[in-house]
Amino acid sequence: MVRLISLLSMVMILLAACAPVPSEQKVGSDGLPLPKLYRIRAGDAPKIQFRMLDSINALRSASGATPLTMDAKLNAAAATHARDMSVQNRPWLFGSDGSSPLDRLARVGFDGQHIGDAISETYETELETLAAWMDQPDTRRILLDRNARRMGFAWHQESNGKIWWSLVLGT
């Protein structure tokens, strides 16, 4: 009996030693956990764009606004602007050549009316970025604008993981 108890104790000790050790989370100088790097792969683009469209349409539906459709020309304008913000290393609505949002829409041949833009420089996912936009009254108003019918959404991710998000709404 003593032999059996000793054998079981040894097996339990060995099994306990095989358990994974929890990894230590890295923290920043402020003591808060550092964000995990969100890497976007080339094949993820349609999935991310439609996840954003579906999420915005759910928010719009809850507020009584009509759903948006994805627009290829607005996607092109958003992609150009996301890359340009990265080149400029600042999130703002004007291009490095001084172009405005209206100039960008004209360049891609968009024939509707410009409703507004939402931009961001972050390491966060598209849904975390959408939540941050919804927390701001100005971008929330744009996203829920009842005149909007079409949406363009794109990003540029730098090699260090920083993401420049650009969303454009139009009629």
Q: What is the pLDDT of residues 160-171, one digit of tens each?
A: 999 999 999 999
Rounded Cα distance, 155 and 42, in Å:
11
Every domain of the chain and the residues it spans:
42-170
Please state, rounded to an integer, the average pLDDT across all residues of the chain. 88
pLDDT at 26: 72
Which segments of the chain have a pLDDT < 50?
Answer: 4, 7, 11, 19, 21-22
What is 42-170's CATH number? 3.40.33.10
Percent of the chain at pLDDT above 70?
A: 84
Rounded alpha-carbon distances, angstroms, from residue 99 to 80, 90, 107, 150 = 11, 15, 10, 21
Predicted model pTM: 0.79
Rounded Cα distance, 150 and 29, in Å:
42
Rounded Cα distance, 146 and 71, in Å:
17
Rounded Cα distance, 142 and 59, in Å:
12
Percent of the chain at pLDDT above 90?
A: 73
Q: What is the pLDDT of residues 128-169, one digit of tens each?
A: 999 999 999 999 999 999 999 999 999 999 999 999 999 999
pLDDT at 42: 83
